[in-house]
Amino acid sequence: MPCLSRRDRGRPLLLLLVLLAVAVVASRGDDDTYAASACRWRPYTCGGVHISYPFYLANETRAVPGRDGESYCGYPGLAVTCDGGSRAVLKLGGDSYAVSRIDYANLTVSLADADAAAAAADGCPSVDHNVTIPPDVRLFLPISAVDYLFLFANCSFGHPDADPASPKPRPPKPPSIKPVTCGDLDRPDSMTFVLPSRDVPPGDWSSACRRIFEVPVLRGAVPRDAQDPKWRSDGYDKALRAGFQLGWDRSSGGCSRCEQSGGKCGFSRAGEFLGCLCANGRMGDGGCGNTLADASSLGSVNNHHALNYGCLERLTLLACHVMASCAQQLFLPGRRREKAPGRWEKYQGVKRTGA
């Protein structure tokens, strides 16, 4: 392979710099490195629950480099805390929920109020808040899977024959409802009722209760008869412990293209898509390779992408070998080459020979 002439001494150095720059840029492509430990390519088990993308561990909050604030390898709001290694906990707003199962095929997660789930087996579980899903969290309550219970706590009613003209009269208890009988929750001065939405009586009687909450439960956990003694003793207990389901949707836009290429989406705390996190430890804007992967294979290594990097390595080594060969010929001392005779010298030589 011909090299540059000795008189062009400035050109080899320029060529060397250009080739090195091309090799560096090509090796990076549109990617950048990221904290690979923040993207778990194998499920992490906590309390018998397999945690995998789009969920992530809450303490892994620096997935994307060069970004101020927290960033995650997973969907916004799907951070799971492993409580003592024995219980997986997901926060919605400021409230904690125990995770009992994540179904990645059907895109559902099963939750229960953390306090109700942790109540003693012979205790009387209760809740002290509504279920609120923040707008930036990509979860929703599936209509087909959940129903609702209303919990009326610490109710103290007035006597049906009380003088309605007395100051601040308390409404009487509707005759169609009966309190739960767990523990002392049926005391006359502090009764608790757990009713399906269809069984809540009309009227202002609920003003006699200090706390009222709406609780989602599994559709099959709602009783046919809320006045059944079995329901009022421990049936509602089982419904609260069983919890409810939330669903999530697959992403769209740039995140969807990332997932189809075998990558995982990096997001900021504000829900901004930051880039595609790939199995080789690099981050790209558009995806992890040119070959689209089926959505069910998320988390697998993109062989086509790895092959490209292997070819690039061999090309870089070849370029280095060529540059070293040229440098040896141009700069290292060696044997002077004899000058080839010109046309006139050849002619003179022929004449002399002939003479």
Residue spans per domain, the chain:
1-30+301-331, 79-247
**For 326-351, what is the mean pLDDT?**
46
Inter-residue contact 309 to 31 (CB < 8 Å): no
Q: Is 69 left (phi over 0), alpha (psi -120 to 50) or beta?
A: left
Inter-residue contact 180 to 192 (CB < 8 Å): yes
Residues pairing with 87 in the sheet? 83
pLDDT higher than 90, residue 95: yes
d(CA 194, CA 232): 8
Assess whether the previous peptide bond of 196 is cis (omega < 30° from 0). no
Q: Is the dihedral of CA 152, 158, 160, 163 positive or negative?
A: negative
d(CA 263, CA 98): 28
pLDDT at 186: 86
Q: Per-residue pLDDT tens for 28-60?
A: 444 455 656 667 778 889 989 999 999 998 877
92 contact partners, CB below 8 Å, separation of at least 6: 77, 131, 132, 133, 134, 137, 139
pLDDT higher than 50, residue 86: yes
> Concatenated DSSP letters for 194-249?
EEEGGGPPSSSGGGGEEEEEEEEEEGGGS-S-TT-HHIIIIIHHHHHHH-EEEE-P
Q: Per-residue pLDDT tens for 295-328?
A: 333 333 333 333 344 444 444 454 545 455 545 5
Q: Per-residue pLDDT tens for 263-274?
A: 999 888 888 888
In the chain, the largest separation of any two C-alpha atoms, in whole Å, equals 153
From residue 325, how far is each of 177, 181, 329 by CA, in Å? 94, 91, 7
pTM greater than 0.85 (yes/no): no
Measured in degrees and rounded to the nearest 5, phi and psi for residue 53 equal -55, 135
Inter-residue contact 262 to 278 (CB < 8 Å): yes
Residue 312: is it exposed, middle or buried by C-beta count within 10 angstroms (0-12/13-18/19+)? middle
Inter-residue contact 192 to 155 (CB < 8 Å): yes
Residue indicated by tokens 């070293």: 324
Q: Per-residue pLDDT tens for 204-239?
A: 999 999 999 999 999 999 999 999 999 999 899 999
First to last CA, the chain: 42
